[in-house]
A and B are shown apart, each in its own frame.
Chain A
Amino acid sequence: MILLCGIPSETPVRLVAEAAAARGIPYLVFNQREARYGDCLLRLSDGQVDGWLELSGRRYALSDFAGVYVRIMDPRDLPEARRRGQHRLSAEQLKSTMLHEMLQQWLEIAPCLVMNRNAPSASNMSKPYQAQTIARTGLRVPATLVTNEPSEALAFAARHGRVVYKSISSVRSIVRELESASRRRLERIRNLPTQFQAFVPGTNVRVHVAGDQVFATQIRSTAVDYRYAGRDGLDVEMEALELPDEIAARCLTLAQVLGLPLCGIDLKRTPDGDYYCFEVNPSPAFSYYQEQTGQPIADAVATCLMDGRPAARAPCAIGVS
């Protein structure tokens, strides 16, 4: 049996549930919105973990789960947790918080396959940190400068021509090009270091790794950040893409090195055919790409979880370029 954690109506969770049902894979959904009705026991003894999860009056041994898909939103953001003006939170809220905390703890130490655990997902909290790991797998990374010195930023821009800027951390930001208007505001970076990156021309490619399967999607858009193309009145077109074997193998290696059996890898293919890697998303909304291209990503997630092994195919060796 596999366990899906999140909100059942959220598209990635729904698609994995549908894929599991279509394959005849038994699955259980932990619905965050109903956490207050659930119960859980964790027993830890000399490195061993066992216990049970009780949902809708039925108890499941934690050892019964071959794999877990995690798409949990911060429980503090759930509508039932955001009732204002309450000095004492209710017993139901205590129960919901406790169940969330216990599940999160179990997911970090569970012997089964987890897509994904919190600790490895945290590499995404620092993009330049993650870029150092990406570079060690042999994938190209764009030249990057983080600085709060306007003169350093200008020198970097002079060296690389076109330059973009974006957040350093995992806080989502819109990638923007450093143009004349933003150059005039450059003094503001003295307040906070900012990440600048050499602009890489070419086509955006989103790669989803699910276990040992690699799905590449080519995105055609003239927007600097295609995720926000609509805001600038620009179009986005997507189609499935076959990656060169070497790049696909490096993506598998990267997922393995980062400890992320499911991830979304942002690449760009230059007109010369080189591939650059920008970042790795540990909780990808793959449904957006699956629905545009028909790539069976949710099916790969469900079958990999039931198999209980992250990668059967051998990735490439680190350091070989």
Chain B
Amino acid sequence: MRFLVLAASDDVSAQRVFGALRRRYPPAQVALVPAHQLASGRWSHQVDNAGAATRVSLPDGRVLSDREIGVVFNRLSAVTLSHYERATPADRDYAQFEIQALVVSWLAGLGERVVNPPAPPSLAGPQRSQCELLVAAGRAGLPVRSVHVATSARAAPAPPGYDLLGAEWSQGGPALQWGPRSLATLGRSPVMAMAAMRGQPRQLLLAGRQVIGSTGPDMTAGCRRLGQALQCPVLRVTVDRAVAGTGEWRVTEVSPLPSLGPESEVDAVLALLEARASGTEPPQ
């Protein structure tokens, strides 16, 4: 098949891209495979010095063979084994790690045919914190919202005019979550402070060379460099105008697994997939 879309069964963006592909190509050339079908497939994945070769027989009878796959729109965030639901937590975790490791290796073996490629431990695109992604954006030459994070708001006061967030334990587990706080209530608590923005965010989508919604040529070039640095041809970049200074557009968030917005974004992803499939994608 020429186009393969991999996604969770509730991934609306993947379904929109699949729908657009189906309107242009015959059914035999386009397939949508939900994550749970991959997990239930019969696998044969071989690796040696000649490379990787994989064949997956799906429960519905379809067969995914490396030689027949043209390009993959990869939206997988997790592949879970439903028949392990009643297993012990340790067995369930082990099974989860194992199937995830297999899928990562399969996708890696497909090389540049996969958009976005896996980056262990993530199945699709890099799994990085927002701080890391913002630093990557800055290193790609994009203007970025400044961030100040400290274990103690008193030991390291945030600059004036920053929006303040305080850390708290999430309900039911030892994980940190952040919520708006005032300086007076922070005390010695951890603080994350970010340069104030006007609160009118604009969504940009990188899809290969195209940047939908760009604010200008510098932003377009910066988004392309960021995509290259993260090895992510499809990337959401959110920008907003800073309150301070000249009010220039600054990156506030980066996502390698974006929900697609207007139809122009679906068209841009479609153009990228078609270019990859036909080998006509211009160099980045």
List chain A positions with a Cβ less than 8 A from chain B: 38-49, 52, 54, 76, 81, 88-89, 91, 93-95, 97-99, 101-102, 105, 108-109, 119, 122-123, 125-129, 131-132, 135, 140-149, 152, 167-171, 191-193
Contact = CB atoms under 8 A, between A and B. Distances in A.
Contact of A168 (B81, B102, B134, B152): B102
Given A88-B169, A102-B149, A149-B43, A126 B48 contact: no
Interface residues of B, number: 61
A90 B147 CA distance: 26
Contacts, number: 194
A171 B84 CA distance: 17
Contact of A192 (B98, B120, B139): B98
Interface in B95-120: 95, 97-102, 104-105, 108-109, 118-120
A135 B97 contact: no
B43 A47 contact: no
B215 interface: no
B147 A125 contact: no
Nearest to A99: B151
Contacts of A140: 49
A109 B131 contact: yes
Contacts of B83: 191
Contact of B43 (A91, A101, A131, A148): A148
List the 7 shortest-distance A-B pairs measured between CB atoms, nearest first: A47-B138, A126-B101, A169-B101, A128-B105, A169-B97, A47-B139, A41-B156
A163 to B, nearest CB: 13
B98 A168 contact: yes
B146 A45 contact: yes
Nearest to B140: A47
Contacts of A105: 129, 131-132, 149
14 contacts: A39-B151, A39-B152, A39-B155, A41-B155, A45-B147, A49-B135, A95-B152, A109-B135, A129-B104, A129-B120, A132-B109, A144-B46, A192-B98, A193-B98
